[in-house]
Structure 1
Amino acid sequence: MHAKARVLIWVIVISLSLVLASQSSNHLSYNQNYTLPSYFQSVKAQDLLNKNFPSGSANNSIDIALINATPFDNYIVSQKILQVKGVENATSVANVYIDYATALGKIANQTGDLLNDSAYALYYFPSHFIKYYIESNNSQTSLLKASKGLPEEVKVSNYTVNFTEFYSSFAKLFVTEYKSTGNVTLSYTLAFKGSLKNVNPIGLVALKYLNSSDYTNISSIAASVSKETGISEKDVCFLIFKPINANDPLLYEVITPPSSLISQYVAHNVSVVFVYTSYSPGFSFKNGTYPDGIISNEVQSAIGSVFHGKFYVTGTAPIIQELSSSEGSRQGTTFALVFIALLVVIGIYFRSIVAPLISLSLIALSVLMGFGVISIVGILKGSVNFEIVEPLISVIMGIGADYSVFLMSRFKEELQNGKSSAEAMSISVSTSGRAILISGTAVTAVFSSFVFVPYLRTWGLVITPTIPLTLLIAVTLLPLIYMKLGKRTFWPSHVKAKSSNKVIEKVSRFSLRHSNGILVGVLIVGIAASLFVLSIPMNFNDTSALPDYPAVQGLNVIDDAFGHSFINPILIVIHSNYNFNTSFLMRISNLENNISHMKGVKQVFGPVPSNFNGTYNQEVRELMKENIGTDNKTALITVIMNYPSDSKQAFSLVSNIEKEVSNIGYIGGTTSTYMDLESYLMPYYEGIVIALPLVLFVVLSLFMRSFRIGLGMILTIILTIVSSLSIVYIAYGINTSTGVIFFIPLIVYVLMMGLGSDYSVFILSRIREEEKKGSESIIRGITLSAGAVTALGVILAASFGVLVTDPISIISELGAAIALAALIDTFIIRLSVYPAILSKIIKSKIKSKE
């Protein structure tokens, strides 16, 4: 293709990429939630919660941690939060006080009304009937006058106390006895006792506490209600015969809800307010606006205006907001650091200012196109995980720099051999360019494996097409530029005859002489490192790797106060085909009791207390209201652990609980989801771990026309991977208890499989060239390619090494692992192990100069 046509095509592609890249941030997702297939029990549990518990499907994306706040402070804060646009609800310990007071008030008022009306009927009517009868001697007239204005019946809950029959019976019995004896007192006593059988027993409680002289006295009523209901007289006096006033600070001082209800919101000096918004966690508009993030900022301001103590705004929304607001600066910092690092490395390698500027300018265009691909994938798939951006910059900059340096190294070598710029360019493209195309194809194929892994699919969709674009820029645009510049490409250094690298030649010869010892040592190290890496479990808790943002600090404050799993507890969802009854609730109570005695359990909340005996007091009613679903067939038991939700101990606890509930319900919550994720993802992991080496083995074997060489190269790559992961795990304190974030080892494995094969192809292609020139092809091939391959390894290490400074520890660990792998591969594997392996495989072609 004509040079001008190439340039024109690239101008069009780059212009389109610029437009798309400007929209890339709108397509990034910061949601850390994972979606599982419906057959997993954690999904079934969540589906039942969403269906039968209004709060289960509500969008609780913001949590507030108030330090040293009173219940009334919680009320004021909650009311202020409710004024924020987009907030649907806010619940706190104030709701416990209000709900409990309302329930007590209802009971107290019903009981007070009953006592008052009963006393009025039982004492007022007899005295007035006797008065009217003695005056008129007419029982019917006296009955009508005495009962006028008195209650005919009093309804309390499911009870109805009927007084009409009492009035009639008393009148009849009194008249009969009075006519017989003429004694008012005796007739009253006999008539009163005889007529009480017509009153519902619940109405007779008035006789226990009241008398005819003080039944209208409020203090007497309060004392009577307290004795009858068990509610403290102080609470009765505060609640009786008046509506609940949530604005009254006395409400939160006088009323004392049970600790089992308060402990769901308050622990030590920390109280939590749960905020529910109109949007699902992670939702964003098409223009990239994240509404819950805006709401969390407004909630922060609202709280600050009414609460002057220390507080934290945490939860999904604030964390996402802090991540998204810092993403731009993290991208810019990563690009700048990688650019500077590569500028220095390439500049030192070529001893030139021009060469690194040319190559890095073109590579920057590849990064631009990568951001354009993010927009395309976001449009097609809905979103792209934000964690891909910094690694994408490092991958493209590192690979692009590798390809550029490999081409320019060969170009410089041919210039040193006296070739013209055009001839040197042609040779560099036909030799190094061919190796780059083979390598790029292999790397692209390797990265495409991410497409088949859930949760890493967008990684594959973004990186896979960007690598060929980077490769094409390297083999089409870059040669045009360095051909035009010629020797000036390497200014201010001079292109002069290349001297052989004596150090690398000596290392290679040493490796050949001691190949047996080197291979035995490598085997021991490889086995030990592999066993260690395989012993580290997967961890699916992305939040554990977040920077020390205020929202993350808030999570830690809540964890310290309430327990590690308060925000992410174990959720046991009990489901029955029939409505719950007392017998089934007692069965649930026994289950709660069994779970509460399991090792690692801090608290258990359920529809009934763990000591439930069939008595429905107010505490039981409140628990039932919170933990029995709208269908009356679904119950929720919440378990707070002493363990982090992502720990091995938490996994073990969930497994033990599962044995208890497997016949009557499902286990949901974060820990159960992590366990299901592990079961779901492991087949994909195992498939990639097995498939990639097989594919590369075939590719390398065909390229070198030797299955033994292909096998040797694959084994060296695996050695590099397990060695680097072992060192990083130890350096970052990753062990069998904490585990490693699930995609770190997989990404390192895939990337190093691809890039490790890169270096293999580069070296092996040079060895093949040297085979045609005579003996010592291994020594000459490694020595001649060592400078470039060493530079490539250092370039890759530099491009990923800068990620160590990233505040997100996942990205930091990933960068450290790949940088270390690149250095191990470059300075140990390629220079020492490679010659030893090749000497065993193609021994017949080696003739030592000893």
Structure 2
Amino acid sequence: MKTFCKAVTRGRYVIIAICLLLMIPAAIGYKNTKINYDIVSYLPSDVETMKGQDILSKEFKQGAFAVVITDNMSTKQILNLEDRIKDVKTVNKVGSVYDILGYSFPVQMLPSDIASKVQKGDKNLILVTFTNSTSDDATLKAVEKIRGLKKSIQVAGMSATTLDTAQIANSEVIMYVIIAVALCLIVLMLTLDSFFVPFLLLGNIGVAVVYNLGSNLFLGQISYITKAIAAVLQLGVTMDFSIFLYHKFEYWKTQRDNKLEAMDEAIAETMISVIGSSTTTIAGFLALCTMKLTLGVDIGVVMAKGVAFGVLTVVTLFPALVLVFDPIITKTAHKSVVPDLSFIKRFVLKHYKIVLTVFVIGLPLSYYAQSRTQSYYNLTAGLPSYLPGVKANDVLKKDFKIVSPYFILVDSKMDATDVKKMVDQIDDLKGIDMTASIAKLSSQGITEDMMPDDIKDMVDNGKYQIILLSSKYDTATDQLNSQIAHVSKIAKSYDKHAIVAGEGPLMRDMVTIADTDFTNVNSTSIGVVFVIMLFVLKSISLPVLLVLAIEFAIFINMGIPFMMGTKIPFVASIVIGTIQLGATIDYAILMSTKYLEIRQGGGDKVQAVSTAMDASLQSIFVSALCFFAATVGVGIYSSMDMISTICSMISRGALISMIDVAFIAPSLLLVFDKVITHTSLGFKKKGA
């Protein structure tokens, strides 16, 4: 280790040069990393609805759908518009009722439930299919191109809202970083003893962030959620590593003859402490990889990399920067304005039994509250209402009463009589608003011979045929999920290989998988962090007590939406607990490590807890405040509820964990001191 430390301090200029040069390929990697804006695509490929999507993509060459809403256009103008849409790259098929009826026949010739879904007053619908997937760049460009063909048209569907998501995410992401950096800079200016050090801290983390985002190129793609929160989370989680090294350097400067030797000692101590504490944070993020929804792997791997890069730059680049700019640091020195937190120690030492009573009563209550917090799964619900795709979807709901369209894939050779019987049964289900199939149209006198090949190819490719449905129920609701289950049962009674697919069924699978993921991720993160703490603290009881303390903070954080009567995005409900545990368990470890040191050295429990609080409270305060600052601004600024909620809950969780560790953790140490000393290594031989 000494060799490594000396290599860093003596080769500081070389390290700075290498780190700056590595920014070039990292920046290129960042720019060329594909961003996925479609959360549905992270569903497991073996889910039946995803198999349905695969059939549509491979067998029908229909990777995505969109609905074009025309306003005050004649039949001729609509058919001309269809021809223009067909010329857009990656558009596969385009069709409307006028391709079947032509100029002569009125829409009223269609079955009434179908007629009401294709024309309303002066508005008409055109169905467009795309060769590529919903979130593919080519599909999004095609949707954008279609929107520009005529001012009076609107484009609805998942690809349209995905385009909205992409545009708003790309327009805001830079501001996320600017806000996070600005707020962190304010905190660091106040809490550190130099006006220049904060710039070095943020510059160092900025390099680590670019390395992390650039290396995402090797993952193939990342989600827009990961892109939006990765930088601010990495900033908040790894900031305290740099602060720790800086404080160590300032201390050793008073103990050693020159700055190089002081930094050698600071790096050595930082590596021992930071590598140990960062392991729990990395483990917490990697627990997200147990999610069946592979979005968890996306977030987990990127954030785990981010922490690793943060540790790497803290023990290499940051020491080099501090040594090079030490004269400026000295000239810009000022008095830190961190408040005196000794009143917390006095309160806890005097009232720890009361604090513990509050904990014992509050734990089950907060657990109940967080278990009652409700999530929403409708991916468009968290988007601003002014977006064009959201507006178009609202027109479909309000004017055409198309709330949740989906479809059934059945064997193309199924007898027309059986298809009609199946559709009639489905029509009788509560909430079904419309069904459409070739067999149903034929029974109304509109035969296959009357249909253009393009229209027939959209719904029957010789191997599968598509039956369209429209439900009155909103996507991702219990009513729609129950209806889909009944539709599937009926369809499979006629064709055992039938598949119910579309946005509604996909969201139904999302609900089921997310519920399982919530349980798996939380239990895995607790288990992994617990095992790591066993080795770090060399204690059986302490990991239990400290995890309980942080889980209490998590329960409070997750229970607040229930108490406020609000719903949160389902992704937030899955990832918040794991992120908060991994990022803030270090607060508890920092305090308990000092406590163990004093107790094993012969000090009594009050002395050990008192010294531990003196040594850790200010560090915990600064770290939590930086974590809060890095995320709270994004939570307030973002217009996407998914991003806003995640960042707001993370920022709130940092403060709750800080208060929790400041009061609950030392109270647990005092009350369970005997248990701890008898279940931890290094006590019995000292007679503790």
Same fold (TM over 0.5): yes
CA distance in 2, matches of 1:80, 1:845: 75
> Which shows bigger deviation, 82-91 or 710-719?
82-91
Contact 2:408 2:468 (C-alpha < 8 Å) held by counterparts: yes
- Pairing partner for 2:211 from 366, 369, 384: 369
Q: Tell me the secondary structure at the aligned position of residue 467 of structure 2.
A: strand
Q: Aligned AA for 1:300?
A: R
Q: Residue 94 in 1 paired to residue 98 in 2?
A: yes
Considering Cα pairs closer than 8 Å and 6+ residues apart, tell me whether 1 or 2 has the greater RCO.
Answer: 2
CA distance in 1, matches of 2:48, 2:486: 15
Contact 2:359 2:664 (C-alpha < 8 Å) held by counterparts: yes
Q: Tell me the secondary structure at the aligned position of residue 194 of structure 2.
A: coil
State the Cα distance separating 1:754 from its structure 2 match. Answer: 1.2
Aligned length: 657
Map Cα deviations across residues 475-531 of structure 1 (whole Å, 9 max, x no partner): 233234445666963764556999974322223224424244223233233332343
Q: Aligned AA for 1:357?
A: F
Map Cα deviations across residues 65-110 of structure 1 (whole Å, 9 max, x no partner): 2234443442232233334455444323432432xxxxxxxxxxxx
Matching residue of 2:303: 463
CA distance in 2, matches of 1:487, 1:515: 46
Map Cα deviations across residues 185-219 of structure 1 (whole Å, 9 max, x no partner): xxxxxxxxxxxxxxxxxxxxxxxxxxxxxxxxxxx
Q: Residue 42 in 1 paired to residue 49 in 2?
A: yes
Map Cα deviations across residues 303-350 of structure 1 (whole Å, 9 max, x no partner): 23xxxxx33234455444444445444221111101100000111112
Matching residue of 2:592: 764
Matching residue of 2:424: 593
> Which shows bigger deviation, 434-443 or 271-280?
271-280
Matching residue of 2:482: 652
Matching residue of 1:334: 176
CA distance in 2, matches of 1:701, 1:787: 25
Q: Tell me the secondary structure at the aligned position of residue 662 of structure 1.
A: helix
Matching residue of 1:814: 646
Map Cα deviations across residues 220-239 of structure 1 (whole Å, 9 max, x no partner): xxxxxxxxxxxxxxxxxxxx
Call closer, same or farther: CA 1:671–1:254 in 2, change over 3 Å: closer
Q: Residue 840 in 1 paired to residue 671 in 2?
A: yes
Matching residue of 2:382: 545
- Pairing partner for 1:575 from 395, 411, 436: 411
State the Cα distance separating 1:630 from its structure 2 match. Answer: 4.1
Matching residue of 2:686: none
Matching residue of 1:349: 191
- Pairing partner for 2:118 from 265, 290, 299: 265
- The alignment's C-alpha RMSD in Å is 3.6
Q: Aligned AA for 1:746?
A: I
Q: Residue 440 in 1 paired to residue 272 in 2?
A: no
- Pairing partner for 1:301 from 148, 151, 162: 148
State the Cα distance separating 1:372 from its structure 2 match. Answer: 1.2
Q: Tell me the secondary structure at the aligned position of residue 545 of structure 1.
A: coil
Q: Residue 82 in 1 paired to residue 86 in 2?
A: yes
CA distance in 2, matches of 1:68, 1:292: 27
- Pairing partner for 2:26 from 20, 37, 40: 20
Q: Residue 399 in 1 paired to residue 232 in 2?
A: no
Matching residue of 1:157: none
Call closer, same or farther: CA 1:601–1:494 in 2, change over 3 Å: same
CA distance in 2, matches of 1:425, 1:731: 49
State the Cα distance separating 1:538 from its structure 2 match. Answer: 6.7
State the Cα distance separating 1:688 from its structure 2 match. Answer: 2.9
Q: Give the structure-1-normalised TM-score.
A: 0.70
CA distance in 2, matches of 1:302, 1:499: 61
Q: What residue ranges of structure 2 are gaps of 5+ in the alignment?
A: 678-688
> Which shows bigger deviation, 646-655 or 664-673?
664-673
Call closer, same or farther: CA 1:697–1:642 in 2, change over 3 Å: same
State the Cα distance separating 1:708 from its structure 2 match. Answer: 1.3
Matching residue of 1:780: 611
Contact 2:408 2:500 (C-alpha < 8 Å) held by counterparts: yes
State the Cα distance separating 1:601 from its structure 2 match. Answer: 1.8
Contact 2:30 2:210 (C-alpha < 8 Å) held by counterparts: no
Matches within 5 A, 1:323-722: 323-350=165-192, 352-378=194-220, 383-412=221-250, 425=263, 428-453=266-291, 454-482=294-322, 489=329, 492-494=332-334, 501-533=341-373, 536=374, 539=377, 541-547=378-384, 548-563=386-401, 565-566=403-404, 569-575=405-411, 579-581=413-415, 585-609=416-440, 617-618=445-446, 629-631=460-462, 634-664=464-494, 665-680=498-513, 685-722=518-555
Q: Residue 753 in 1 paired to residue 581 in 2?
A: yes
State the Cα distance separating 1:649 from its structure 2 match. Answer: 1.4
Q: Aligned AA for 1:819?
A: S
Contact 1:504 1:783 (C-alpha < 8 Å) held by counterparts: no
Aligned-pair identity (%): 17
CA distance in 2, matches of 1:329, 1:676: 31
Q: Aligned AA for 2:318?
A: L
Structure number, greater radius of gyration: 1
- Pairing partner for 1:733 from 541, 551, 566: 566
Q: Aligned AA for 2:666?
A: P
Q: Tell me the secondary structure at the aligned position of residue 353 of structure 1.
A: coil
Call closer, same or farther: CA 1:619–1:694 in 2, change over 3 Å: same
Q: Aligned AA for 1:808?
A: M
Call closer, same or farther: CA 1:817–1:372 in 2, change over 3 Å: same
Call closer, same or farther: CA 1:508–1:36 in 2, change over 3 Å: closer
Q: Aligned AA for 1:295?
A: A
Call closer, same or farther: CA 1:825–1:415 in 2, change over 3 Å: farther
Call closer, same or farther: CA 1:293–1:765 in 2, change over 3 Å: same
Call closer, same or farther: CA 1:709–1:408 in 2, change over 3 Å: same
Contact 1:606 1:627 (C-alpha < 8 Å) held by counterparts: no
Q: Give the structure-2-normalised TM-score.
A: 0.85
Q: Aligned AA for 2:406?
A: I
- Pairing partner for 2:138 from 276, 291, 296: 291
Q: What residue ranges of structure 1 are gaps of 5+ in the alignment?
A: 99-245, 284-289, 305-309, 735-739
Contact 1:797 1:822 (C-alpha < 8 Å) held by counterparts: yes
